[in-house]
């Protein structure tokens, strides 16, 4: 009897010392990976970001090529060389060297350069969108890792408490104070907590693998779980978020660049339909068999884009450009519509998450803690059944887990909202 009381009082003292809120251990600094470090590493090493960054450099280099003319051509000709002496050019009627250069109509090269620059800007916005996506995933995965670690800590703590309760219950059973069914219930509860602990450890390992993947590390590298999770509380209003997203979201900016690109494509197609291109040439001729041996020739070739057998193709190029322009405008409208919808949904989740965290802090945690203390005291004096103690213990465990789930949910919803808006929220 005295042994059972000792176990019960030890459990009650431990809970009273812990306070009404779940203990949050300080993060160990040795080897710990902070969220800011994880984000910087992902920005520098994530293969998806690296791919888009290198593609952007490629497109910028392509844009820098656009204002240049095509390579000139050198022409070498010799006419009427006697077959009886084919290597004696001094007996040829004419030996000629010339140069040829294709020259587009005024303004066409400039339009090609603008089109290439717009494509590079679109690639830049695509890179920014991917960076925001990866940062959001890092924050979410980092929060998952924190949550899994907290689930492990809570389940281990509850397992130790349950083992002590189980030993105390066995002692009470030996003296006939409780039934054997209470002993079995205590053992079953231990098994349930152990199962939850296994699932939490599995989730922690899975979160490590996901985070390592985002950082382009080996999946087997262990990551020290954060001891604390900063929960930002930005001041958010729907009009401000909508304005910020319409201004800063990369997907919208990319669609805007797409419209500018489509307009330049139309301008170029219209010029190609109306104005010719040129081939300029100059030749020097040496005619050894003539009295005037040194001569030159000049040439200008002009394309005819509006010829009856080519004008149809040019007209279809213009039609294609107009359709692409309409498609680009529709893409912008769709991006704006999607953004406003996502902001409304995400902001609702953030506000609900903030209320949930506040509810746990202001009442649920303390109520669950007080309920368990009362059940422990009543069970010790025999005023309540063992099942009531189990229910109070489960409620306390769920309240602590629910508090951290609410924290993590809020952090993840804020990360998603930042991705939608396209920047960090103040």
Rounded Cα distance, 148 and 153, in Å = 9
Secondary-structure percent of the chain, ordered helix, strand, coil, rounded to 5: 70, 10, 20
Q: List the beta bridge partners of residue 239.
A: none
Q: What is the pLDDT of residue 29?
A: 35
- Quote the pLDDT of residue 31: 56
Q: Which two tokens stand for residue 53?
A: 């960054």
Tokens 């004419």 correspond to 94
Residue 49 has pLDDT above 90, yes or no: yes
Indicate the domain borders of the chain.
2-421
Q: What are 146's two structure tokens?
A: 């924190």
Span 2-421 CATH architecture: Up-down Bundle (1.20)
Give the model confidence (pLDDT) of 101-159 as tens digits. Answer: 999 999 999 999 999 999 999 999 999 999 999 999 999 999 999 999 999 998 898 88
Nearest alpha carbon to residue 374 among 128, 74, 12, 17: 12
Q: Kindly give the residue spans of alpha helices, DSSP state H, lying in 24-107.
A: 35-45, 47-65
Residue 2 pLDDT exceeds 60: no
Could you tell me the pLDDT band of residue 296, with boundaries at 50, 70 and 90? confident
Q: Give long-range contacts, CB 8 A cutoff, 24+ apart: 314-318.
A: 314/269, 314/272, 314/273, 315/273, 317/269, 317/272, 317/273, 318/266, 318/269, 318/270, 318/273
Cβ–Cβ under 8 Å, residues 127 and 53: yes
In this structure, what DSSP letter does residue 105 have?
P
Indicate if the pLDDT at residue 16 is higher than 60: no
Quick one: pLDDT at residue 164?
A: 78
Give the residue-averaged pLDDT of 366-377.
83
Mean pLDDT of 59-73: 93
How far apart are alpha carbons 349 and 92 in whole angstroms?
88
Distance (Å, rounded) from C-alpha 98 to C-alpha 32?
Answer: 71
> Among residues of the chain, what percentage have pLDDT more than 90?
56
Provide the token pair at 224.
Answer: 């020290």
Model pTM? 0.83
Evaluate if residue 392 carries a pLDDT over 90: no
Mean pLDDT of the chain: 86
Q: What is the pLDDT of residues 343-359, one digit of tens each?
A: 999 999 999 999 999 99
């Amino acid at each position: 009897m005295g042994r059972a009381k000792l176990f019960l009082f030890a459990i009650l003292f431990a809970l009273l010392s812990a306070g009404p809120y779940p203990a949050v251990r300080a993060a160990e600094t040795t080897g710990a990976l902070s969220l800011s470090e994880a984000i910087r590493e992902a920005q520098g090493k994530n293969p998806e970001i690296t791919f888009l960054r290198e593609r952007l450099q490629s497109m910028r280099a392509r844009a820098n090529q656009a204002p240049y003319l095509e390579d000139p051509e050198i022409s070498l000709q010799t006419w009427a060389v006697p077959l009886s002496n084919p290597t004696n050019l001094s007996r040829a009627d004419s030996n000629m060297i010339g140069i040829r250069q294709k020259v587009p109509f005024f303004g066409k090269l400039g339009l090609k350069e603008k089109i290439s620059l717009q494509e590079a800007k679109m690639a830049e916005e695509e890179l920014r969108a991917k960076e925001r996506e990866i940062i959001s995933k890092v924050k979410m995965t980092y929060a998952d890792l924190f949550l899994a670690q907290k689930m492990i800590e809570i389940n281990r703590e509850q397992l130790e408490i349950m083992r002590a309760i189980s030993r105390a219950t066995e002692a009470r059973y030996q003296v006939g104070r409780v039934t054997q069914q209470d002993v079995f219930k205590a053992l079953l509860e231990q098994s349930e907590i152990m199962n939850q602990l296994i699932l939490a450890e599995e989730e922690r390992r899975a979160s490590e693998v996901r985070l390592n993947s985002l950082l382009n590390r080996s999946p087997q590298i262990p990551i020290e779980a954060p001891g604390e999770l900063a929960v930002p509380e930005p001041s958010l209003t729907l009009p401000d978020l909508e304005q910020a997203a319409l201004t800063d979201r990369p997907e919208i900016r990319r669609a805007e660049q797409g419209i500018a690109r489509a307009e330049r494509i139309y301008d170029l197609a219209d010029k190609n339909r109306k104005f010719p291109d040129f081939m300029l040439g100059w030749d020097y001729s040496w005619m050894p068999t003539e009295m005037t041996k040194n001569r030159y020739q000049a040439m200008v070739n002009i394309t005819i884009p509006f010829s009856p057998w080519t004008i149809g193709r040019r007209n279809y190029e213009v039609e294609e450009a107009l359709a692409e322009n309409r498609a680009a405008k529709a893409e912008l409208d769709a991006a704006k519509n999607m953004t406003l919808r996502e902001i409304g949904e995400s902001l609702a989740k953030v506000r609900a998450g903030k209320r949930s965290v506040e509810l746990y802090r202001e009442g649920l945690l303390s109520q669950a803690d007080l309920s368990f203390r009362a059940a422990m005291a009543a069970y010790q004096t025999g005023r309540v059944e063992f099942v009531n103690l189990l229910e109070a213990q489960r409620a306390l465990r769920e309240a602590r887990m629910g508090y951290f789930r609410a924290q993590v949910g809020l952090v993840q919803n804020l990360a998603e909202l930042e991705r939608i808006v396209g920047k960090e929220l103040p």
